[in-house]
Homo-oligomer: A and B are copies of this chain.
Amino acid sequence: MPDDTDLRPAEFTDRESALARDDKLELRVWLRLLTCANLIESRVRAGLRATFDITLPRFDLLAQLDRAAEGLTMGELSERLMVSNGNITGLTDRLVAEGLVSRLPSRADRRQSRVKLTPAGKRAFDAMTPVHERWIDEMLAAMSRREMAQLLDLLGKLKRSVQSAGLPDEPCDKAGETT
């Protein structure tokens, strides 16, 4: 027989739940945040694959382009999607091969290329976005608007807190703006 060390329901066996109640609050917030993000992301990923046969990174890239009428440079995409520039190169290559985006040379700066949705890409994205939005709505359905607004606010504070903290290694210079 498999030793039944852990009889808790699956709902309570994820990364964060293994922390004891008296553990550091900071760590618990971070792990629960990560759990939520993973949970939502994996469902969106599965939905996109099952319904539209597209991957999440490609959808995300299309979503950025959809709001940028003039297209975006590789660097802008890299910054907005918060991934490395090499990653964007590969993603764009695949989307170009699928005919969903096009790479235009920039007249202003020959190092840059500007990526835009093709008509087919725009059509594909327009079909996906309402369904995607519905999934998100459903996943947040048990929260009141007040709770969502509060959560949005606290996440804003968290975001600023992280951004104002020095990087994990740097000695603490530049922290004080004593000048």
Q: Are A29 and B82 in contact (CB under 8 A)?
A: no
Q: Are B161 and A70 in contact, CB atoms less than 8 angstroms apart?
A: no
Q: Is the CB of B142 within 8 A of A108?
A: no
Number of copies: 2
Taking a contact as CB atoms under 8 Å apart, the answer to whether B46 and A168 are in contact is yes
Task: Check if A159 sits within 8 Å of B27, measured CB to CB.
Answer: no
Q: Secondary structure at chain A's binding surface: helix, strand, loop or mixed?
A: helix
Query: Is the CB–CB distance between A143 and B157 below 8 Å?
Result: yes
Most B C-beta atoms less than 10 A away, residue of A14, A139, A166 = A139
Q: Is A37 an interface residue (CB 8 A)?
A: yes
Distance to closest chain B CB from A74 (angstroms)? 13
> What bracket does the count of chain A residues touching chain B fall in?
35 or more
0/1 per residue, A103-143, Cβ < 8 Å to B?
A: 00010110010000000000000000000010111111111
Q: A3-11, A85-93, A94-102: which lies at the B interface? A: A3-11
Tell whether, in the assembled complex, residue A142 and residue B160 are in contact, meaning their CB atoms are under 8 Å apart: yes
Interchain CB contact (< 8 A) of A67 among B18, B46, B159: B18
